Structure 1
Amino acid sequence: MTGVLQAQDFSQVDATIKFYPKSFDEVTELSDFIARDFKTDEEKVRAIYGWIIHNVAYDLDEYDVFNYKFKNYRERNAKEEITRIKIIQRTLQKGVAVCEGYAMLFEKLCELQGIQNYLVRGDIKTSFKDIGRSFQKIHMWNVAYINGEPFLFDPTWGAGKYNQRFIKEPSYYWYKTEPKLFIKSHYPDLVEDTFLEINISKQVFARLPLIIKKDLLVTDVLTPKYGMINQGDYGKEIEFELKTEAPSVISYSYDFGDKKKMVDFSTEGDLLKFPIKKKTGELIVYFNDKPALAYKVE
């Protein structure tokens, strides 16, 4: 279980790294800057994450750069270490990477600072096609220990988003993200790397809807709990029940239609209840015109 998150002023750290070079030939050069300017592990990890998200762009073409073949596991292990070094150098020198570059650079910089950390491979949930499919190891992120406590980081997602092209949007949302928020979109290969008090299985993660509203948790979605809704489920309307503060307006659309239909809702204690007309398609529920949840209705 990760440590208690406390608000901290990182303005000096964030301002300092903006004066660093935008690229480096060797990872030790960037590490030396960080060691010179910061003393605590907390400051160093912040600087590592901050430099990466501001200076590395996501580029799908990087997937094709380091393809290699091997004859046996010994050769594979040797080539993997060589490839890891090359990925880190390319990420530093060219400022482009896919998730491996972001995560491996984060890992190496922490290692050079003497900060305990490790890579995590796992699955992510970002679109309708991810609802209900089997587990895949398609993403990589990091765990780093600060003052003896493990925390979750995803510098790839912190750098921005990819929608046919990379859109740079540096964010600290994926810096020390709380496990209960991380689990909405990330699932590790090893369940202990969720750092949740109550474990959620790979199978349950696969079946979850897309929970888009940032402060809405998996445990807040009571009905429909799972993201696949069959025509035989419910009647003519899908009954929603969530543990969340009521928005001013609830609306929905199917198949990304421009016309959002408003629905009436009621509250009962801390429960929010509302019905949505059932039809086949990809359903998005909006709170105050912003996407909150998404389901597939078949």
Structure 2
Amino acid sequence: MKLLFWFFIALNISAFGQDYQRVDAILTMYPDSFESPEKLSKFISRDFVSEEDKVRAIYTWIIQNIAYNPDEYKKFDYKFSNYRERNEKDEKLRNNIIQRTIKTGQAVCEGYAMLFERLCELQGIKNYLVRGDIKSNFSDIGRPFKRIHMWNVATIDGKPYLFDATWGAGKYNEKFIKDPTYFYYKTPPELFIKTHYPDMFEDAFLNNTITKEQFAAMPLIIKRELLPTDIESPTSGLLFEEEYYDEILFSIKNINPAKISYSYGDQVVPIKSVEREADRIKFNVPLIIGAKILLIYIDEKPTLGYKIN
């Protein structure tokens, strides 16, 4: 699906502390294309034993060798006259998408996710596809729910984990920029929910329910370690001018940066007065009438995004 997450900074190491050096080193010796997922799967079976290593190998090969290309949408349009025909065509379409993805090295989110799913199947690893919505741009704040993206759940040693190889492969903004990251490998649910909302909430793997409307209203939380619960004010990503006098009060927990600044456009303005407590910061941003977006920077990096009405 449309991949425009220009401000999400890629990490080129394992995001959550596990050592995968051996797996990643072996994957550097793999071919960059295969005739079929079965042939790639044979390499993985030869080199790895544990479910953890096999899933790591699957994710690594995909993010290193598949480029996002929106033109792939045009390759697989189809029509059907009844549900039986649809189901038959769905399976044929799935197989065609997988074959094209692995042979050409190009895909949209369906190609990434279906190839990940098929490789897991071939390794006997329980997994399934998830459709849902994403939040990656200012225009996503406040809009109705859309099923516009696809990602994966895979079970490793009896526990389900979240994966998004599409976002793990790089960035797309008019062209694909390869920038592999493992942030979207076994992403903790409380971080994944900032940008991904599943069609069925049970696939979020969260204890506390977040509705589609709540997800839509959230600000863009760009700093990867920052949780939605860390944002105490404003909690809504939609700011209405009539609700503020001349300043917007911000309160953020579990953060103590050296520098804070903001931008309503191109110019970044430092904030000189910051109230610091043991586990939170508070500061005010002057309201500019007529502005459409507000971006908060923490230590000179984009951290929070708001849309102004």
Q: How does 1:123-138 map to 2 (within 5 A)?
A: 123-138=133-148
Question: Among 91, 94, 102, which residue is 2:104 paired with?
Answer: 94
1:12 and 2:22 equivalent?
yes
Q: How does 1:218-237 map to 2 (within 5 A)?
A: 218-237=228-247
Cα distance between partner residues in 1 of 2:18 and 2:135:
30
Cα distance between partner residues in 1 of 2:168 and 2:16:
19
Cα distance between partner residues in 1 of 2:198 and 2:47:
33
Q: How does 1:158-237 map to 2 (within 5 A)?
A: 158-237=168-247
Consecutive aligned runs of 4 or more in structure 1 exceeding 6 Å deviation:
none
**Is the CA contact 2:261–2:268 (under 8 Å) kept in the aligned structure 1?**
no
> 1:257 maps to what in 2?
266
Cα distance between partner residues in 2 of 1:221 and 1:235:
21
1:293 and 2:274 equivalent?
no
Which amino acid is the alignment partner of residue 193 of structure 2? I
> 2:283 maps to what in 1?
274
Gaps (5+ residues) in structure 1? Answer: none
Which amino acid is the alignment partner of residue 269 of structure 1? A
Which amino acid is the alignment partner of residue 129 of structure 2? L
Q: How does 1:49-68 map to 2 (within 5 A)?
A: 49-68=59-78
Name whichever of 120-129 and 231-240 sits farther off.
Answer: 231-240
Cα distance between partner residues in 2 of 1:259 and 1:116:
47
Q: Alignment partner of 1:205: what SS?
A: helix
Cα distance between partner residues in 2 of 1:89 and 1:55:
14
CA 37–274 in structure 1, closer or farther in 2 if over 3 Å, else same: same
Which amino acid is the alignment partner of residue 102 of structure 1? Y
Cα distance between partner residues in 2 of 1:286 and 1:183:
21
Instruction: Pick 1 or 2: higher relative contact order, CA cutoff 8 A, min separation 6.
Output: 2
Q: Percent identity?
A: 56
Cα distance between partner residues in 2 of 1:153 and 1:20:
22
Q: Alignment partner of 1:145: what SS?
A: strand
The alpha-carbon deviation at position 249 of structure 1 amounts to: 1.1
Q: Alignment partner of 2:96: what SS?
A: helix
With structure 2 as the length reference, what TM-score do the two structures score? 0.93
Name whichever of 270-279 and 99-108 sits farther off.
Answer: 270-279
